[in-house]
Chain A
Amino acid sequence: EVQLAESGGGLIQPGGSLTLSCVASGFTVSNNYMSWVRQAPGKGLEWVSVIYSGGSTFYADSVKGRFTISRDNSRNTLFLQMNSLRVEDTAVYYCARGSVTGPGYFDFWGQGTLVTVSS
């Protein structure tokens, strides 16, 4: 059974750093497209970043230069390192697997982890 479990969220001050983790089971992270998607309180969904099976990475303009997506193949885990955090980064962050039919079709999602950026 495919499962994704995020962790690492919490309360952080503006300008701070945080690393989110997403442990996968039932499939191999390194063989799939893996994305992070977020939802700010009361807002819609926003795609954040993707890492391809080959290792290529792409980011939304709103996080480019501040966030880094990566994976640890030995732990079958996806990461999102977030630096220079802003109040507007406050959101529930989901990891999601890209489908074999297209990297932008997210067929499995984690339950999300809440990041709150506030002083």
Chain B
Amino acid sequence: DIQMTQSPSSMSASVGDRVTITCRASQGISSWLAWYQKKPGKAPKPLIYAASSLQSGVPSRFSGSGSGTDFTLTISSLQPEDFATYYCQQANSFPYTFGQGTKLEIK
């Protein structure tokens, strides 16, 4: 199975900050990577697919990059509604696997 490792596991930031979350795959997955935002009691919200493509309706302050084994999710200017847990997920092969999550908290 492909293991996905996110860093950091948690972080605190302020409104307006630029934030970067990294995700590393245990083997190459080309660009088969997605990012999701998860809030308690809510369904995961898709943000990015194919490593860098923005899902419809997602604000442009979210961006993704990377290929192979190393990927990043960047939020250019944090808004109050962005405080949540973020997950990366590989879609290269079964079983699809998620990172352990990065909890983004208000500083």
Contact = CB atoms under 8 A, between A and B. Distances in A.
A1 interface: no
Interface stretch (B13-21, B75-83, B96-104): B96-104
Interface residues of B, number: 27
Interface of B: 1, 32, 34, 36, 38, 42-46, 49-50, 53, 55, 87, 89-92, 94-101
Secondary structure at the B interface, as helix, strand, loop or mixed, is loop
B49 A44 contact: no
A50 to B, nearest CB: 8
Nearest to B43: A109
Interface in A44-62: 44-47, 50, 58-61
Contact of A105 (B38, B91, B95, B101): B91
